[in-house]
Amino acid sequence: MDAIVPYLRQLEHAGVVAIFRPIHEMNEGWSWWGGRPGPYGSRELYRFTYWYFVEYYGLHNMIWTWNVKDVGMNSIADYWPGNEYVDVVSLDVWMKAFPSADDYQQILTVAGGKPIALAEVAAIPSPSVMSAQPRWVWWMVWAEYLKDEAFNTDESVKEAYYMPRTLRQGDIPILSKK
């Protein structure tokens, strides 16, 4: 973590706010930090990371994005670090083509009114998915999947990128923690 502090500090001095998503996919066991529910598991590591950058180093230019993967969605609350540590709640969608209605509801419930995002997707959400699940404030397609016809066609990319937006800049406030 020390290695990235100078870069975060450089961004802070330049007035840049970074979307920071540490301990991502914490409900999945593929990484050394993931798949450890409960009070002394992955969520405690997230809290420590927050403390380290915000309290110890005094960095205040990050949008703290808590993240889970689309597995075991009924137990994601076991990984929740607490409202004070999270600005945005996000989901990575890899096991399903799109987030299910149940996944969407699970994320909304944990978020408790905070903005929600699709941090990683292979298939770009269609206008019908976005219409049925309107609270997603952004989605990010994994680069090599954008032009992979197994996930996205030219037409689906055009539909997604040209769909009308209902949110405008400033509609979702994320308050400074200074």
How do residues 87-106 score in pLDDT, each as one tens digit? 999 999 998 889 999 999 99
CATH code where residue 94 lies: 3.20.20.80
> Using an 8 Å Cβ cutoff, are 67 and 98 in contact?
no
Does residue 31 form part of some domain?
A: yes
The whole model's pTM is what?
0.89
**Torsion (CA) 35, 101, 159, 95 in degrees, nearest 10:** 30
* SS3 of the chain: helix, strand, coil, percent, to 5: 35, 15, 45
Q: Among all residues, which ones are annotated catalytic?
A: 25, 120
Number of compact structural domains in the chain: 1
Q: What is the pLDDT of residues 25-35, one digit of tens each?
A: 999 999 999 99
CA atoms within 13 A on the CB side of 96: 18
Does residue 9 form part of some domain?
A: no
Does residue 177 form part of some domain?
A: no
Comparing C-alpha atoms, which of 106, 117, 124, 107 is closest to residue 161? 124
Q: Which amino acid is at 106?
A: Q
